[in-house]
Amino acid sequence: MKAKRVDAVIDWLRPIAEPVAKEAEFSRWISAHNADTDQAEDWCTACARAEVTRLNALHPDHEYLVDGGWGSSTDCPPYCCKCGKTLSDHLTSYAIRDEIDHYSRHSVTLRCKQGAERAFRFVQMLESHDFDVNDAATWRFFRRLEMMCKRAKGGAP
């Protein structure tokens, strides 16, 4: 019952999220054979490649390389640390709770510059196994998305 309602909202969000979803990739990070690197930073592939080229020109003996790209889990929505591009790693239950908490204090509107980006994150959240519809705060958040969906479709009571 609830799952069907969630699916309906996902179907509505997906086309709005499409411009971001088709560009989003799993985050990369930078490793080196002979040096320690700061692997806490997320990169898109293009920026990671450019950074590796730059670092190898400076320190050829360190042998930097582009790592990652297989889709890890993250405690906050990931963006490229260089260009700000949206990355698509899986959100942990902690990340989802944090987002829900954020939106309990902010509007869930998609009528803003970040509309596609937000829709993309909402789809990620709703599709996650950690999106627990039996949790009261989670369901309240979902109901707000559902109301927005119904209004957009012109079917709100």
| Footprint on this chain of Zn ion (rule: CB under 5 A) | 44, 47, 80, 82-83, 85
Count Cα atoms within 13 angstroms, Cβ side, for 32.
18
Question: Helical H runs in the chain?
Answer: 2-21, 45-58, 93-103, 115-127, 136-153
- Taking the least distance from each CB to Zn ion, the nearer of 13 and 66 is 66
CB of 28 to Zn ion, least distance (A): 9
Report in angstroms the alpha-carbon separations of 116 from 29, 43, 57.
25, 20, 38
CB of 83 to Zn ion, least distance (A): 3
- Name the residue among 59, 1, 11 with its Cα closest to residue 35: 59
CB of 75 to Zn ion, least distance (A): 20
- Taking the least distance from each CB to Zn ion, the nearer of 10 and 50 is 50
CB of 126 to Zn ion, least distance (A): 26
DSSP-assigned letter for residue 1? -
**Distance between first and last Cα of the chain:** 20
- Taking the least distance from each CB to Zn ion, the nearer of 47 and 55 is 47
- Taking the least distance from each CB to Zn ion, the nearer of 24 and 47 is 47
